[in-house]
Amino acid sequence: MISDGKSASRAFFLCLLLLFSLGLVLILCGIAVGSTGLKTVFNSLSDPVAAKIIWQIRLPRSIGAFLAGALLGLTGAIAQGLFRNPLADPYLLGSASGASFAVAISLMLFGGSPFATYWLVRLGLTGAAFIGAVLAVLLTLILARGAQNSLRLLLSGVIVGVIFGAMSSIVTLMSPEILQAMQAFLLGSTGFVGWNACIVMFGALLISLITGILLSRVLDGLILGEITAVSLGLKLDLTRIALIGVISLATGAAVAQVGLVAFVGLVSPHLVRSLIRVNHSRLLLLSAMMGGLVLLAADVLSRYLIAPQELPVGVLTALLGGGYLLWLMYGAKGRRGFQ
C-alpha cells in the first residue's frame, strides 16, 4: 500500500494517468473491432463508408461504454462508503428492478415486434428505464422513512427489488413476444449507444462526480462510525439524501442507455483499493475511471470473441467480476483488500 503525504499524491496521479492511458488504448481497440474482428483503423479512414461507421457507430459506442462504466463505478464507490458494506453496488436500492419493470411495461404497451422494439429502444426505453429506476429508489426511501437508518434502507431496497422483479416477470409472462427484447435489456448491451446517449451520460457523470467529491468528507467520516461522524459535525441525514440522489441519477442514466450490467459497480472500487489507498474524494474519481475501463474492455471483448456475432456485455462483466471477487475473497492479498 502507498503511504500518505507526497508519495500518496504522486501515486494517485500516476494511477490516474495509467487508467487514462489504458482508456485511450481501449477506445482505439473499440473503434478497430468490427464484424470481421480486429482491423487497423487508419486504413479504413480513407473509405467514406468505413469512416462513417467508425465515427458514427464504433466511436460513440466505445465512449458510451466507458461513460456507462464510469457511472456504475462511481455509484459503487459511493454505495460502499455510504452503507459501509464492501458488497454494496449501484443496484442496491431497487433501481435495477424498477428499470426492468418500466421497460417491460413499455414493451407490453407498444408491442414486441422488431420494428416497434427498435424505435422503443431508440426513443422510449431509455426514458422509461430512467424513470423506473428513480421511482424505485423513491419508493425505497418512503418505505425506509427516509435515509436515517442504513439497515432499514438496505432492507427496503431488497424488498422493492424483489417486488419489482416479480412484477417484471409477470408482465413478461403475460406478453411472451417481449421476451427477446427484455432479455437483451437484462443482459446489457452497448449496441444502441450513440452521440446523444454519450452527451446524456457525460452530463450525469459530471454532476454526480462533482457532487460526490464535494460530499466525500462525509463518506470518510462514516468509516469511523455514525456516532463519530456526527461528533465531527457532519450532517448525515441531508448528506445521505444527497448521495442517494447521486446514486439514483448515475445509475438511472447508465441503466437507461446500456441496460443492466452486473458487477462493474461492485468490482471497480475494490480494483482501485488493490492498487492504492486513498480517501473518498480520490477513490470516487479512480473508481469512475476503473469502471469505465472494465465495461469498455468487456464491450471490446464481446464484439471480438465470436465476431461477427456479439456476446451480451453483461455476461462478460459477470464472468470477469465474479472471478475477481472469488480471487479477492480467497487470495491472501485479496482478503486484506476486501476488509
- Tell me, what CATH number does 319's domain have? 1.10.3470.10
In a domain, 1, yes or no: no
Range of the domain at 227: 6-338
In a domain, 19, yes or no: yes
Record the cell numbers describing residue 310, joined without a space.
Answer: 456479439
- Distance (Å, rounded) from C-alpha 296 to C-alpha 27? 8
- Distance (Å, rounded) from C-alpha 115 to C-alpha 112? 8
Q: Given a cut of 90, is residue 311 above it in pLDDT?
A: no
In a domain, 204, yes or no: yes
In a domain, 326, yes or no: yes
In a domain, 61, yes or no: yes
Phi/psi of residue 301, nearest 5 degrees: -65, -40
- Distance (Å, rounded) from C-alpha 36 to C-alpha 21? 26
188 confidence band (pLDDT: 50, 70, 90): confident
- Distance (Å, rounded) from C-alpha 126 to C-alpha 295? 19
- Distance (Å, rounded) from C-alpha 197 to C-alpha 46? 27
Beta partners for residue 33, in sequence order: 38
- Distance (Å, rounded) from C-alpha 70 to C-alpha 67? 5
Three-class secondary structure of residue 128 per DSSP: helix
Print burial letters for 27-37: b (CB count within 10 Å at least 16), e (below 16).
bebbbbbbeee
In a domain, 71, yes or no: yes
Q: Given a cut of 60, is residue 213 above it in pLDDT?
A: yes
Q: How many CB atoms lie within 10 A of CB 1?
A: 11
70 confidence band (pLDDT: 50, 70, 90): very high
More confident residue, 117 or 277: 277
What would the pLDDT profile of 243-296 be if each residue is shown by its tens digit? 888 988 898 889 888 888 988 999 999 999 988 888 888 999 999 999 999 999
In a domain, 137, yes or no: yes
Q: Given a cut of 50, is residue 115 above it in pLDDT?
A: no
Q: What is the mean pLDDT of the chain?
A: 82
Q: How many domains does the chain have?
A: 1
